[in-house]
Amino acid sequence: MRIVDLSQPVHTGMQVYPGDPEVTLSTVATVVEDGYQVASLHAGSHTGTHLDAPLHSIPGGRAVDAIDLARLVGPARIVRCTGLAARETIRWSDVADQLEDLDGIAMVLFRTDWSEHFGSERYLEHPVLAAEVAEQLLSAGITVVGVDTLNPDATLDNGDELPFHAVLLGADGVIVENLTNLAQVTWDRPLVSVLPLALAGTDGAPIRAVAMQQDA
């Protein structure tokens, strides 16, 4: 089985959404001094590659540990929308031809290659998905959407408005953010897992996202 890791490594000082808790990963016990090694991790629920549960932006929405895990593992459609300008909006008309015949597809992942800028200020100026994309995907039965950016909505100068989040999470959908390495998934219908940590009652959680190709 071929496996592509779609996750950003978690490390001290890694880029986070502006205002989110900073990430600190440190060693608190060592084999030499203590007979075992243990690390301490301080991080927010939206650290690195992570899943947004409805509770993230919908009052009373579903928490991350209440999401049916069967929704988070399955065949994926990767939509290529590369070569975009900073803050460019992706509309349904731009991607509709890649989103036909979604029968049996569990999730849709948008590949912009903006993950190449992860860790830089430019990463904050990522392209965004129009709310109409969420509406069309929901009408096709897709409730799990992933992006290789910090946010499907605008991160800078957004006026605290998250229209894509409002539509998808408002319909009990989930959003996966900060994916990477989507260009390495070169086969159709990859089996993708975006299982989150079981953080009880929280609005989101880090995930180890992977794409798999089973041997023929």
Q: What is the distance of C-alpha 90 from the center of its chain?
A: 17
Active-site hit among 11, 42, 46, 56: 56
Contact 178, 149 (CB under 8 A): yes
Map tokens 């991080």 to a residue.
43
**Is 42 annotated as catalytic?**
no
Which regions of the chain does DSSP assign to beta strands (E)? 2-5, 24-29, 38-42, 50-52, 73-80, 89-90, 107-111, 128-129, 144-147, 174-177, 191-193, 204-206, 210-213
Three-class SS state of 93:
helix
Element housing 139 (H / E): helix 131-139
The CA distance from 52 to 57, in Å, is 9
With 0-12 / 13-18 / 19 or more C-beta atoms within 10 angstroms meaning exposed / middle / buried, residue 120 is: exposed
Catalytic site positions: 56
